[in-house]
Amino acid sequence: MERADDVQLIRKILSGDDAAFGNLVEKYQKSVHALIWRKIGDYHYAEDIMQDAFLQAYDKLSTLKNPNQFAGWLYVIANRLCIDWLRKQKRGQEQKRVMQSLEDTPAEEIEESSYTHYMSEQCETERTERCHALVKKLLAKLPESERAVVTLFYLNEMSTKEIGAFMGVSVNTITSRLQRARKRLRVDQERLVQEVLNDVQLSENLKENIVKQLESIQSKFDSFMAQAKSDPTSGADILTEAHNQVEEALKGEITPELARLAHEIYKYMGKPGIEKSVSLHGRYLNVASDNKERFWSHRQLSVCLAMLGRNKEAIEEQARLYHWACEHMSDADVLHVLSSCLEHAGCWKAEGRIDDWVQLYNDASQRLENPELSRYDRCNFLQIGSEILRAYGRSDETLLGMEKLERFNDDTDWEHYFRFWLAVRTNRLLVYSGQEDWDRFDQALTEVHAFIEDELEKRTAGHSVNLGNLHWAAHDIGCCLVWLQKYDEAKRFLQVAIDVDTVNDYGHFMLAVSVWASERNREKTLHHLKFAHDIVLAAWNRGKYYQSFLGTPEFADVKDDPEFLKVFGQK
């Protein structure tokens, strides 16, 4: 873990960021444990006292006048707790463990119930006990002051400067103590001290408990997903239980596995879940173990902010992520920052910063010539980027992007060829319609229409067809025609898409728009609206289609209609 500045962390904690205190714990827990262990001579009780020391430090943090002296202040707290513990030991006030009487228990039962457990415990603890005994024996050769320095230097790999700050003495004093300690120990003993101390670990029970906890939460979440697939409106109780468990788990350390599982659960909880994800990633970014995790968390944070309509924060986070990725990540990752977040398009536009986004896009485009980039990375960037440019009214730049995309997408046998072939034609349809260039519009539409008809004929004749390609071609063209208010043509394509893939919420919604606009058929319209809404109840964005319904001009005359509102669960 990178050592964060104590002063900054303390300021965050005092302003309400509890996650920052976790950074302090991770930074100092080994050294505090080592000092307590040295003072009281009991490894396991030292863990309990260490926890009490950090709890007291948290409770009294507001009383610390100089945050630069946190390490020494924490040492004083730990030292006082050690003194209290030793006094209790001396007065005999520590409670002794009560042993169950074995007088009336048959020897066979005792052997059967305890021998296996005893052997496993013995194997697990023998090596640790030998290590502890050896370390104590070697360190006993040193005076108290040198013993503390050696323990900190080898166990926690602290620098002399860090040890000096922790113990409240100068770096020169620490260096002198370390040198004297090395001289007292023979070279082979010193090497053994380092080897053994580095191998000594804090209790693994916590790690095992976390793994079990994650498995339990994952099992609950998997049950919810299975239930939601069979009945989209069911499984709410299971999801609530998984959510409660993940909330409890997040009170402790945030591991990569826990962060990703929590994010997945929050996705299925609507707006409150997205808000929880913002908080989650705000914490996780401070403790993420590597750049890969930071990159993932940055992306999720920026997307969640965009989904919540926090436009300024979202674009600032995306810009921050872009510049950070340029410095720390690969060219493919840099392209991915701009090509994976369509949700941001509206944010830049709402803030009047389209030119700023275009500047980032053009800057990223220079990386397309990197020979190490895959064909998919290039095509994906050009597709999504061009779609955003089209949404910003940059027609000429959109068509230029489509030309580049076709140059990279030149192998008809490539597994992703059809996706990008279709993207070129749908984008051209929308650009040409905006330019009222109907000749080129009809040419692009004819190409896709011919593909769909050909695939349908093959399917009717019993030949094998790629249903995924058929579905997306019909779906995308149908949606384009709805946007262009060509409702009668759109209905046929959208019906084909739904016939191929029934669980297509947006297809049902767009078909409802077409039916209502062209037929005013209440029964068919309500059917498709309800289907779209019910499917999304099992997804992250609950209420998505109610908002879409309110914002769709074709439904302007029924926004207050009781039957339509009932579909969306509104009174």
What is the distance between the alpha carbons of residues 215 and 403, in angstroms, rounded to a whole number? 48
pLDDT at 69 over 80: no
Segment 411-427 mean pLDDT: 93
pLDDT confidence band for 431 (50 / 70 / 90): very high
Q: How far apart are alpha carbons 239 and 247 in whole angstroms?
A: 12
Flag whether the pTM goes above 0.75.
Answer: no
Q: Would you state the torsion angle of the CA atoms of residues 101, 102, 104, 110, taken in this order, to the nearest 10 degrees? A: 150
Quick one: fold of 6-91+121-199?
Rna Polymerase Sigma Factor; Chain: A (1.10.1740)
Place of tokens 């339990």: 216
Tokens of 453: 């008809």
Tell me the residue length of the chain: 571
Which of 124-133, 160-169, 295-304, 400-409 has maximum average pLDDT? 400-409
Give yes or no for a contact between 13 and 20, defined as CB atoms under 8 angstroms apart.
yes
The pLDDT tens digits for 493-503 are 999 999 988 77
Domain positions in the chain = 6-91+121-199, 505-571
pLDDT interval class at 134 (50, 70, 90):
low
Higher pLDDT, 184 or 82: 82
Strand, coil or helix: what is 447? helix
